[in-house]
Structure 1
Amino acid sequence: MHIEVGFPGERIVVIPQPFLDLIKDDPLTGDLYIQSLGQIAHARHHLIDRPGGCEAYTFIYCTWGAGYVAINGLKFALRANQYIVLPKGVPYSYGADENDPWSIYWVRFDGEKGKIYARIMSSPTTVLPSVYSRIEQRLDIFENAYAVLCGELSLERLNYANIAFAHFIASFLFVDLLQTSGDQPSHAEGMINRITHYMNENAERRLTLKDMARYAGYSESYFYRQFVRQTSMSPIDYFIRVKINKASIYLIKTSMTISQIAAKLGFGSADYFSRTFRRIVGISASEFRKQDFRL
């Protein structure tokens, strides 16, 4: 079974053709403009097959799991923390690994600059998580562009989203500059600070105790004991609370549905997310949203 769209919690925005005709001639962002964008999580059986190619370039960023990309007969594995830009006008396909289905952010875009990005980002490239990786900041840029395009479209909104996308893709192309810009994070020292930062940066993933211990550089048993000693809770319990904290922000600040938030944060199902949210917060996610900032 192969599925192209319709995954639980899937998000997608498609720019109508009249707006594309308007923006492609705009002097501000006509050289790099979004046609559509979206996000899917743990997308089992996901497959996109374009034997005739596509009239736009496609940027794919895998945040979890694994999949593959085949371009004109040449096949690449695409795993967590890797990205690629697919060329236009060339046969391609991409899909999720059957045993470890991926979570991806994707953007279809066009413009004169598109062929430059397609050339220099033509193979899977890795952005490893670290205290300087700023994964959360990068994804916030995507979310900002997505939110703007979900509103009533206008030339101003399109230009803003396109400029945000240019920033988003530059954060991959010039990752060292993004990592070193601004003040160095104060959480860079100390095992607990480093691992809690790692949790925040990877809240959309399904981190295991093994993942966390490996990142911290300790055995699972030693890492677990040290974490509980300093936080009075297990690493997994803490990580779930990180997810719920982010979910609370999404409930208040975005129009994402509960199902979309659950999928984005890797809860597996909306029911499991709802039960977990109520257990930790004390009220349902829908009631929390109604309370706004009065809670």
Structure 2
Amino acid sequence: MELKERWIRLSDIFPQIYRADPYPFRPNERIGPRKTLVHTFLYIFEGSGTLIIGNTSYPCIRDDLFYIKPGTVHYFQSDAIHPVVHASIYFDWTGEETRTGDMSLFRYGDTGYALSGCSPNFLFIDCPPIPVKTHAPRNSKWMSAYLELIDDMEKTREEAVLLRRSLFEQFFAGMIAYCRKPTAPARDPRIQAIVNEMQSLPKHPVTVEQWASRYGLSTSYFHRLFMEETGMSPNAYGTRCKLRNAKKLLRETNQPISAIYQELGFSSVHYFSRLFSKHFGESPSAYRRKSREGYSDNLNE
């Protein structure tokens, strides 16, 4: 039995997002075979490894984005030295299905199940097919929307649901526009160098004035270039880098929160906790507790 297919216009999507979360692999960890009942976008946030989708093996590195149709068998194999951290969104294109965002979205092992239990595959009338693998620059506006959606997933108010739908539409519209272009747009190497430095050295105490002076730019022109490149102000982007590194440290290390805020250059633990809660809707300690619950207990079912 084949997966049901339906045609739809791009402007008619009404995304229903069930689950969106990061998952840090252990070195050499293997997961699969796995199938999902719904559609999946899977973004390689850090590290490297191999992703097998159907009968095709894809090497995966940072900034690779994969699309997996419902019911498609896939496997993950993380690198032994640089383990993968992926950030995934599990969704349907319309609001017709009613599902919960728990482990019932997944099937593990070789046990078969009817494709009638999967969401239909959608084909778009007015845009090219979604590629299985895309290079997705994280500093683009559309990927910023993708990552913001994942950061906001824990929020439960109705306005948060509306915001996530809007962020998904921004992401997908940007992705389609990006894929239509024969080549990626040229990036400003000066801003890219600064962005890379911000990501790798989030504590770096460099001011906007110092960044601008480094390349002989006025502060206002540097600010405009940075906004065009990332969709955010330099200060906002630097704060986001620090907070994302904080999430990584909370997930993957046992460092006390008092050490993490100092390592990332926040002025006090109270300021760090307040800022973290404002951005992610929960305290650092609550995030650490949640990130270590649930998901891994079900991987071998």
1:126 corresponds, among 135, 139, 143, to 135
Aligned to 2:38: 56
Q: 1:249 to 1:126 in 2, by over 3 A?
A: closer
User: Is the CA contact 1:85–1:121 (under 8 Å) kept in the aligned structure 2?
Assistant: yes
Q: 1:122 to 1:36 in 2, by over 3 A?
A: same
Give the alignment of 1:1-295 within 5 angstroms.
31-41=14-24, 43-51=26-34, 53-111=35-93, 115-116=122-123, 120-127=129-136, 135=139, 137-154=141-158, 156-175=159-178, 188=188, 191=190, 193-200=191-198, 203=199, 245-246=238-239, 250=243, 260-262=247-249, 269=253, 271=255, 275=259, 277-278=261-262, 281=265, 283-286=267-270, 288-290=272-274
- The runs of 5 or more residues in structure 2 that have no matched partner are 1-10, 95-119, 203-210, 216-234, 277-301
- The runs of 5 or more residues in structure 1 that have no matched partner are 1-27, 128-132, 208-226, 232-241, 251-255
The CA deviation string for residues 216-273 of structure 1, in whole angstroms up to 9 with x for no partner, is: xxxxxxxxxxx9xx59xxxxxxxxxx999426874xxxxx8x9625368xxx635298
The normalised TM-score by structure 1 is 0.53
* CA displacement at 1:134 relative to structure 2: 6.1
Aligned to 2:227: none
Q: 1:48 to 1:167 in 2, by over 3 A?
A: farther
Q: 1:44 to 1:29 in 2, by over 3 A?
A: farther
SS at match of 1:135: coil
Aligned to 1:25: none
Equivalents in 2 of 1:44, 1:248: separation in Å? 24
Structure 1 runs (4+) greater than 4 angstroms displaced: 28-31, 176-180, 242-245
* CA displacement at 1:140 relative to structure 2: 3.3
Instruction: Report the RMSD for the aligned CA atoms in angstroms.
Output: 4.5
SS at match of 2:122: helix
Equivalents in 2 of 1:93, 1:134: separation in Å? 24
Equivalents in 2 of 1:95, 1:161: separation in Å? 30
The CA deviation string for residues 174-205 of structure 1, in whole angstroms up to 9 with x for no partner, is: 2278976xxx98xx36x5x54113334xx2x6
Q: Percent identity?
A: 11
SS at match of 1:38: strand
User: Is the CA contact 1:32–1:114 (under 8 Å) kept in the aligned structure 2?
Assistant: no
Equivalents in 2 of 1:71, 1:80: separation in Å? 18
Aligned to 1:4: none
Q: Aligned residue pairs: how many?
A: 208
* CA displacement at 1:86 relative to structure 2: 0.9
Q: 1:102 to 1:171 in 2, by over 3 A?
A: farther
Equivalents in 2 of 1:282, 1:89: separation in Å? 45
Higher helix share: 1
Equivalents in 1 of 2:275, 2:157: separation in Å? 29
Q: 1:287 to 1:158 in 2, by over 3 A?
A: closer
